[in-house]
Structure formats: C-alpha cells, structure tokens
Chain A
Amino acid sequence: MAGIVGYGAYIPRYRIKVEEIAKVWGADAPSFKKGLMLREKSVPGPDQDVITISVEAARNAMKRAGVSGAKVGAIYVGSESHPYAVKPTGTAVAEVIGAVNDCHCADLSFACKAGSEGMFLAYGLVKSGEVEYAMGIGSDTSQGAPGDALEYSAAAGGAAFLMGLKNVVAEVECQYSFMSDTPDFWRREYMHYPRHGGRFTGDMAYFKHVRGGVEGILKKAKGKPRDFKYAVFHQPNGKFPMKMAKDLGFSDEQMKTGLLVPTLGNTYSGASPLGLSAILDEAKPGDRILMCSFGSGAGSDAFIFTCTRELPKVQGKAKKTRDYLDTNPFYLDYGTYVKFRRKIRKNVED
C-alpha cells in the first residue's frame, strides 16, 4: 500500500513573542494571546527562505527513508513565499538530495494548502506506479503587514514527506479534497503583503472547508472521530483548530500532539504538514491519524494515515519536530525582527 516512507521537518531557530509585537503597535498582548492561543512565532534567519527550509526538511525525510536521491522521481514544493516569482524552488531541493536529472519537478501554490497538494500528487504518482518515490513539501516564510493581525502569527517552517510503496511508515488509507471559489485571503501580483476578508475568513472559509474535508473523508472511509489516535488540522492560530475539533467531535487529547501553533505561529503551507510530522515522531504502529489542511481561496485536503511497524525504526534517524521547536530558541526584539524580514527601507548599495 502506498504511503509515507520518510518524513522530515525544519523550523528556524529565531522567535518573537506576541508582547514584543504588541508593544510597538499599542495592542493588548494578553487579549491577543488568549484570543488566538498564540504566545510566540518562528522567524527565519536573514539567510533562510523557502528554498533553504524545504532543503533541510527534505534532507531529514531522506535520512529517515534511507533511499538514494536518484530514486526520487518527482518533487513538489507548495508555498506562498517561494523566493523567486519565476524559477522553481523544487529544482534546488532536487540538486541537494541528488534527485537530478531524472525527476519531475513543480512548485505549487494554493495559500496554506499548497503543502498537502504536493503530498496528494506524490501519493497519487507512487500509487499509480508512475514513479518509485515522490516527495511533497509544504514550506513558508510568510509575512503579515506591519500592525496587521497576521503579523502576530505569520511564521516560518516546513515539512517534507517522501511517498513510496516499500518500507512504508504510515500508509495512506484514504484521501479526500473539498473546495469552492471563496475570496477570503489573497495577495495580488507585486504586492508585499496579503489581504484578508476579516471575519469572513472564519465561518465561510476555514470552518466550512475544514468541516467539508473532515466530514467528507469520514464518510468516504466510513469512520468516526473516535477511530483516530491523533488529528491535525490547519492551524492559523490556536483557536480555530480547537474550535473546529470540538464542533466535529475530536478531543483535546487527539489534537494536542499536532498542535504546534501556540509557540510556532502559522507556518502556512507548512502548518498541518509540520503538525503531522510531530505526530509521526510520537505515534506507534497501528495508530491512525486524520489530517486536514486548509488553503484560502478556498479548499482542504484530508488524509487518513495508519502507522506501520516500520515507523519506530525511522523516528530517531533525524531531528524531531519538537526538538526544532522547543530547544534553545533565540528571541528577537522588534527592531531586529523587521531587519531580518527586510521591512526596513534602505538605500540600495551601488
């Protein structure tokens, strides 16, 4: 059965706390922290972007899979912050892991669900026998406009999943996607920062489409929420996925392992993939996992995974997601943060 043969995560080491942003804009930090269930977020270093994050996540996935890069026949990187507007991210990943030249490569975008799209394509290709191994990566270094609510959450990180048929660590039992044309969040060409539809982004976008994805896959798999050890949903903040879980009948216990957002922030295309990677770090053979991404615009991709006896053999072969998240972060002040994120207008060196 087709599924994940290797997975890997990467989260930059820098963080900024909600208080540090709130004090600059005169906002009330305690109400933000309580309202959004968000304490701090990751920030990419000045030498990090979606290419470098995707590469590190891919390397970790390859370490766990233990297969030669030459066997990887397809690489898809989903992001809304690809470093180049024109020129792919995936080609750099392919060079680093040694997948060149026999490889199909494409970059994907669909707001925050671009990562799960790559997983969907990679899974479909190996299941059909078209390629032996295929990789899907979700990675972002998104920015919120200064002072906007998104600035408190827009974070950096990514996760990679190598799909294959042999030595599968988590089988894909079922897949389902749900979408509609909904303008809840967008960024027009040449604009630095995205815009969003305010309260419209909740009920009409996130909750409708995650519900659609989860209910759809449960119907397709003839399953119930209690059938799963773990569940992970897209997490733009802590409040949305926890409210969604409650409404759909999932417990805090099922959600807690994959809920990284309180100290990570919203990693957009990386969000539910990183949550899944944190679950795979802990899961045991036989455990079932329900994952549902969400991307504005809008849609969701849902997967049901069943962990196999191969999983414990690979968990320790690369750095775990929680180790990246919890170990010795560097906290930035707002000034250094805006310098790192190039929000300061400078004279161009000649």
Chain B
Amino acid sequence: MITPAIVRRNTPHRYRMEAQKCAACGKVFFPPRLVCTCGSRKFKAYALPSEGKVITHTVIRTAPRGFGDEAPYCMGIVELKDGSRVLCQIADCEPHRLKVGLQVTIEFRKIQEAGESGVIAYGYKAVPER
C-alpha cells in the first residue's frame, strides 16, 4: 500500500528522475543507493535525460491489485539518450504498437492511489512519440 512516507521518500527520483553519480568512479545509479560498486559512499545528484527508446518490453494482462482497470498495459526497459536504462510503464500505447526501438519520451503521470481518500503517487512513464 502506498503511504505518505513512501511518496515523500521517492520524490526526487520519481518526480524529476534524479539519479546518483558516484563521485569516485562516475557510475550512475537509478534509483539511488547507499554504496557504489566501487565502495564509495559519495554521490552527486544527476538528472536523467527524458528521451530514449524501448529495448525490451512486455504486456501485463493479469495486473497486480490496484492496477486491474489499466490492464492490458505495457511495461518496458527504456534506454535513455545517455545510455541509462530505466524500467517503467509505457503509457498511451496500444499493446500491438509496442516494439523494440520505439522512440519514447518520459512524462509525469499518476502511478497509483491509496484508495479513494488516500495519497496519490506520481512518477515517470514512457510514452511513444506522437
């Protein structure tokens, strides 16, 4: 269940795709982590680009609880212009149009709601170029 604490904690990376760049070796992590593979704990905030292409994809037909109204919906790994890869939903996309190499941009969308009266979680989704 989505909670106010989860929404707040995820705000930098979910809202503005803020990744972390290791100050020692330059490796980029998204979502953020505490320690780099090189052992360094020093990171700088780094904003991911918002354009990319789909490199692999699937269609979710049996959705987890809370997402049933959206099924069938598309998920994929998107390679962004700087080479970073993110896993996200591909919105505004009919399943038959999904293909490797599909050009997408990242848009800000509603991800989930904690029922009719709870908090609303927002984040990034990829959408095909119009």
Contacts and interface: CB of A to CB of B under 8 A. Distances in A.
A327 B69 CA distance: 27
Contacts of A48: 109-110
A98 B15 CA distance: 10
A323 B72 CA distance: 28
A96 B108 contact: yes
Given A47-B109, A95-B11, A348-B116, A52 B130 contact: no
Contacts of A83: 120
A324 B129 CA distance: 11
B92 A45 contact: yes
B122 interface: yes
Contacts, number: 55
A84 B120 CA distance: 9
A52 B16 contact: no
Nearest to A340: B69
A95 B116 CA distance: 24
Interface of B is mostly: mixed
Nearest to B18: A98
6 interchain residue pairs of minimum CB distance: A55-B108, A47-B109, A47-B110, A327-B130, A95-B15, A96-B15
B125 A47 contact: yes
Interface string B76-101: 00000000000000011000000000
B65 to A, nearest CB: 6
B109 A52 contact: yes
Contacts of B116: 348
B122 A92 contact: yes
Nearest to B112: A47
21 contacts: A13-B92, A45-B91, A45-B92, A45-B109, A46-B70, A47-B70, A47-B109, A47-B110, A48-B110, A51-B110, A55-B108, A56-B107, A83-B120, A96-B16, A323-B130, A324-B130, A327-B130, A330-B92, A348-B116, A349-B66, A349-B68
Contacts of B70: 46-47
Nearest to A342: B69
Contacts of A84: 120
B16 A98 contact: yes
Contacts of B24: none
A52 B108 contact: yes
Interface string A53-97: 001100100000000000000000000000110000000100111
B115 A348 contact: yes
Given A95-B15, A327-B130, A339-B69, 17 more contacts: A13-B130, A45-B91, A45-B92, A48-B110, A49-B120, A51-B122, A52-B107, A52-B109, A52-B110, A55-B108, A56-B108, A59-B108, A83-B120, A95-B16, A324-B130, A348-B116, A349-B65
Contacts of A92: 15, 122
Interface in A144-195: none
A97 B15 CA distance: 9
Nearest to A84: B120
Contacts of A101: none
A327 B15 CA distance: 26
A49 B111 CA distance: 11
A349 B118 CA distance: 14
A328 interface: yes
Interface in A309-332: 323-324, 327-328, 330
A56 B50 CA distance: 12
A349 B120 CA distance: 16
A47 B74 CA distance: 14
Interface string A31-57: 000000000000001111101100110
Contacts of A97: 16
A96 B106 CA distance: 13
A323 B129 CA distance: 11
A327 to B, nearest CB: 4
Contacts of B130: 13, 323-324, 327-328
Contacts of A55: 108
A70 B87 CA distance: 28
A309 B35 CA distance: 49
